[in-house]
Structure 1
Amino acid sequence: MRSTLSTSESVTEGHPDMVCDAISDAVHDRVPAVGPLSRAAVETRITTGLSDVAGEVSTAAYVDSAAARDVVPEIGHDSSDKGFDGRSYGVHAPAGGQLRRGAENIVAARPATRAEVRVAYAMGRAAPGGLFAEDLGTRTVGVARLRGGDADVFGLRPAAVVADLGLLCSVYAQTEAYGHFGRPGLGLPWERTERVADLRAAVGL
Structure 2
Amino acid sequence: MRADYLFTSESVSEGHPDKVSDQISDAIVDYMLARDPEARVACETLTTTQRVVLAGEIRCKGVYENGDWVDGCLDEIEQLVRGVVKDIGYAQDGFHHDTLTFENHLHGQSAHIAQGVDSSGNKDEGAGDQGIMFGFACDETPDLMPATLDYSHKILHRLAEDRKSGAAPFLEPDSKSQVTLRYENGKPVACTALVVSTQHAPGYDQGEKEAELHAYVKRVVGEILPEGFISDETEWHINPTGTFEIGGPDGDAGLTGRKIIVDTYGGASPHGGGAFSGKDPTKVDRSAAYITRYLAKNIVAAGLASRCTIQLAYAIGVSKPLSLYVDTHDTGTAGDAELEAAIKSIGKLGGLTPRGIREHLGLNKPIYRQSAAYGHFGRTAEGDAFPWERTDLVEDLKAALNG
Correspondent of 1:158 among 320, 329, 354? 354
The residue number in structure 2 matching 1:195 is 393
TM-score, reference length from structure 1: 0.89
Please say which of residues 92-101 and 18-27 is displaced more in the overlay: 92-101
Q: In structure 2, what is the equivalent of residue 133 of structure 1?
A: 326
Question: How far does residue 6 in structure 1 lie from its aligned partner after superposition?
Answer: 8.5
Instruction: Tell me the SS of whatever aligns to 1:197.
Output: helix
Q: Following TM superposition, by how much is the alpha carbon of 1:130 offset from its aligned partner in structure 2, in angstroms? A: 1.3
Quick one: which of 58, 66, 84 aligns to 1:71? 84
AA matched with 2:309: E
Q: Cα distance, 1:7 vs. partner?
A: 7.2
Q: How does 1:51-200 map to 2 (within 5 A)?
A: 51-62=52-63, 63=73, 64-79=77-92, 81=93, 83-89=94-100, 90-91=102-103, 92=277, 93-153=286-346, 154-155=349-350, 156-184=352-380, 187-200=385-398
CA positional deviation for 1:108: 2.0
Structure 1: how far apart are the matches of 2:366 and 2:9? 25
Residues 111 and 146, structure 1, Cα contact 8 Å, conserved in 2: no
| Contact 1:10 1:177 (C-alpha < 8 Å) held by counterparts | no
Aligned residues with identical type, % of pairs: 42
Counterpart Cα distance in 1 of 2:8 and 2:343: 24
Question: Is the partner of 2:58 in helix, strand or coil?
Answer: strand
Cα shift readout 1:116-164 (whole Å, capped 9, x = no counterpart) = 1111112232111111111111111222111111233334211111112
SS of match in other structure, 1:22:
helix
**Secondary structure in 1 aligned to 2:345?**
helix
Deviates more, 1:149-158 or 1:97-106: 149-158
Report Cα offsets for 1:48-75 as digits up to 9, x if no partner: 2221111121112124322322101111
User: Residue 293 of structure 2 aligns to which amino acid in structure 1?
Assistant: R
Two-structure CA RMSD over aligned residues (Å): 2.3
3-state SS, counterpart of residue 310 of structure 2: strand
Higher relative contact order (CA 8 A, sep 6+): 2
Aligned partners of 1:103 and 1:39: how far apart in 2? 28
**Secondary structure at the residue paired with 2:365?**
coil
Greater share of strand: 2
Equivalent position amino acid for 1:199 in 2? L
Higher mean alpha-carbon deviation, 66-75 vs 84-93, is at 84-93
Letter in 1 for 2:45: T
16-25 or 6-15: bigger deviation:
6-15
Structure 1 residues 66 and 152: alpha-carbon distance in aligned structure 2, compared to 1, 3 A threshold: farther
Describe the SS at the equivalent of 1:164. Answer: helix
TM-score by length of 2: 0.47
Q: How many residues align?
A: 203
The SS at the match of 2:12 is coil
Relative to total residues, which structure has the larger helix share, 1 or 2?
1
| Cα distance in 2 for residues equivalent to 1:161 and 1:7 | 32
* Residues 41 and 57, structure 1, Cα contact 8 Å, conserved in 2: yes
CA distance in 2, matches of 1:41, 1:152: 33
Distance 1:178-1:48 versus aligned 2 partners, 3 A rule:
same
Select the structure of larger CA radius of gyration: 2
Is the 1:121–1:129 contact (alpha carbons within 8 Å) kept by the matching residues of 2? yes
List alignment gaps of at least 5 residues for structure 1: none
